[in-house]
Amino acid sequence: MENLVLYRKYRPKTFNEVMGQDHVVRTLTNALSLNKVAHAYLFCGPRGTGKTTVARLLAKSVNCENRKGSEPCNKCAACTEINEGRAMDLIEIDAASNRGIDEIRELREGIKFAPAKLKYKVFIIDEVHMLTKEAFNALLKTLEEPPAHAIFILATTETHKVPQTIISRCQRFDFHKLTLNKIVERLKGIASAEGVKIDKGALELIALNADGAARDAESLLGQVMAMEDKNITLVEAQTILGATDIGAVMEVAGFLIKKDAKSALGFINKLVEDGYELGQFAKSLINYLRKMMILASWKQDGEMEKIRQLIAPELTDEQFKIILEQGQKLSSGDFIKLLRLFIRAENETKFSSLPQLPLELAVVEWAGETK
């Protein structure tokens, strides 16, 4: 158990432990309590938001021998087999690598037989949008006439690529990215369980870098905790992740507002020297400028707290004051130009032999030093 990566070690074992997907959990637990489970589900949403975890929980709950209400007992033979990944009647297919007609034909053959041990045969097809047209047609036939002992859970990050005929035969659930606060709360619990003390700033940095995906956040936390330090600071987290904190982004934003190309270029090269990930820095800068633009256009002061919670809940009072002041110094045209320049630069950093060059060009173009 000790060698498991964090997101597997702390994968929710009950619906109660699932974070940030209350709308999905509530509907599924009600259906389980009333014994009204559908034969086909479609879980849509960004990666790392819990689609496969909830699919496994559903598989466990429908097969649990001592289920009370909607939660699996995690003690009976069925729960134990699923938790340990050795249940023959839980069939997981990764459509990204098994996308052909043969796999679906095999699945259709296998579905005819009753479950070997469990009450239901549960088929989880991950990244279902990757299936070929022929495979989708074969799957459709199965979904049209499913045997009573089979449940299908299809998961996808790209719903628009799933044929409407498939979607219409499933109960659809949309998973959302997690809020920064929810991710911080989850990471705090994991760090505490692992006996590691970690600064709130470091947790927030990890959560920001995870971009709403709990799995990514837990992987990054594992990376930070791998240094075997029982007391992790923000600076250590920045060094390990090659990420910059909000202070650095604010400073560069300040240089851009003053059109101080010399200081901005110096700062970018200092980041390179210190080993920071420039693509990540560009993302953080774009995110910060976007927040600044939205807050600058929000004139009703009475609702400022509401918009703050919506747009920038992670900023401290001091940081929030600075972003508001900075935003007043730029026009809407300035924001459009700046954001377009840095979105282009962020894209180009991925392919540039000198990752800092696209950012430097954006700074120089913005500062009007192109002759």
Q: For residue 73, give the CATH number of its domain.
A: 3.40.50.300
The fraction of the chain above a pLDDT of 70, given in percent, is 95
Predicted local distance difference test score (pLDDT) of residue 3: 56
Q: Are 40 and 170 in contact (CB under 8 A)?
A: yes
Q: Round to whole Å and give the CA distance between 235 and 228.
A: 15
Last residue of a domain, one of 241, 267, 290: 241
pLDDT (average), residues 168-190 = 91
Query: Is the pLDDT confidence value at 289 over 80?
Result: yes
Say how many domains are in the chain: 3
Count of Cβ atoms closer than 10 Å to residue 275 Cβ: 9
Q: How confident is the model at residue 228 (pLDDT cuts 50, 70, 90)?
A: low
Query: Is residue 140 in some structural domain?
Result: yes
Q: Look at residues 55, 54, 62, 120 and name the one whose alpha carbon lies nearest to residue 88.
A: 120
Predicted local distance difference test score (pLDDT) of residue 1: 35
pLDDT (average), residues 211-223 = 87
Query: Is the pLDDT confidence value at 237 over 60?
Result: yes
Domain that holds residue 315: 246-366
Q: Look at residues 284, 254, 257, 286 and name the one whose alpha carbon lies nearest to residue 267.
A: 254
Residue 287: burial class (beta carbons within 10 Å; 0-12, 13-18, 19+): middle
**pTM score, two decimals?**
0.72
pLDDT (average), residues 140-169 = 92
pLDDT (average), residues 56-67 = 94
Do both 146 and 210 map to the same domain? Answer: no
Do both 208 and 325 map to the same domain? Answer: no
Predicted local distance difference test score (pLDDT) of residue 318: 84
Q: Look at residues 83, 129, 138, 75 and name the one whose alpha carbon lies nearest to residue 109.
A: 138
Query: Is residue 164 in some structural domain?
Result: yes
Q: Round to whole Å and give the CA distance between 119 and 67.
A: 13
Do both 23 and 135 map to the same domain? Answer: yes
Query: Is residue 1 in some structural domain?
Result: no
Please enumerate in sequence order all residues whose Cβ is within 8 A of that of 41, keeping only pairs 6 or more positions apart, or say none. Answer: 55, 58, 151, 152, 153, 154, 170, 171, 172, 173
Q: 205: domain CATH number?
A: 1.10.8.60
Predicted local distance difference test score (pLDDT) of residue 371: 40
Residue 353: burial class (beta carbons within 10 Å; 0-12, 13-18, 19+): exposed
Name the 3-class secondary structure at 331. coil
Q: What angle do CA 307, 314, 284 make, to 5 degrees?
A: 100
Instruction: Provide the mean pLDDT of the chain.
Output: 88
Do both 186 and 250 map to the same domain? Answer: no
pLDDT (average), residues 179-204 = 89
Do both 194 and 336 map to the same domain? Answer: no
pLDDT tens figures, 10-34: 889 999 999 889 999 999 999 999 9
pLDDT (average), residues 113-123 = 90
Q: How confident is the model at residue 179 (pLDDT cuts 50, 70, 90)?
A: confident
pLDDT (average), residues 138-153 = 90
Predicted local distance difference test score (pLDDT) of residue 42: 97
Do both 155 and 188 map to the same domain? Answer: no
Q: Round to whole Å and give the CA distance between 208 and 289.
A: 15
Do both 160 and 137 map to the same domain? Answer: yes
Residue predicted with more confidence, 25 or 238: 25
Query: Is residue 79 in some structural domain?
Result: yes
Do both 146 and 16 map to the same domain? Answer: yes
Residue predicted with more confidence, 103 or 324: 324
How crowded is the C-beta side of 230, counted as CA atoms within 13 Å? 3
Q: Round to whole Å and give the CA distance between 352 and 362.
A: 14
Predicted local distance difference test score (pLDDT) of residue 243: 61
Do both 58 and 205 map to the same domain? Answer: no
Predicted local distance difference test score (pLDDT) of residue 356: 93
Predicted local distance difference test score (pLDDT) of residue 244: 62
Residue predicted with more confidence, 2 or 144: 144
Query: Is residue 258 in some structural domain?
Result: yes
Do both 216 and 355 map to the same domain? Answer: no
Q: Look at residues 76, 92, 102 and name the one whose alpha carbon lies nearest to residue 126.
A: 92
Predicted local distance difference test score (pLDDT) of residue 254: 96
Predicted local distance difference test score (pLDDT) of residue 159: 92
Query: Is residue 99 in some structural domain?
Result: yes
Query: Is the pLDDT confidence value at 123 over 80?
Result: yes
Q: How confident is the model at residue 2 (pLDDT cuts 50, 70, 90)?
A: very low
Do both 25 and 169 map to the same domain? Answer: yes
Query: Is the pLDDT confidence value at 258 over 90?
Result: yes
Query: Is the pLDDT confidence value at 70 over 80?
Result: yes
Widest CA span in the chain: 76
313, two tokens: 């809940």
Do both 122 and 192 map to the same domain? Answer: no
45, two tokens: 């949403």
Query: Is residue 371 in some structural domain?
Result: no
Last residue of a domain, one of 201, 223, 241: 241
pLDDT (average), residues 73-90 = 92
Last residue of a domain, one of 189, 214, 241: 241
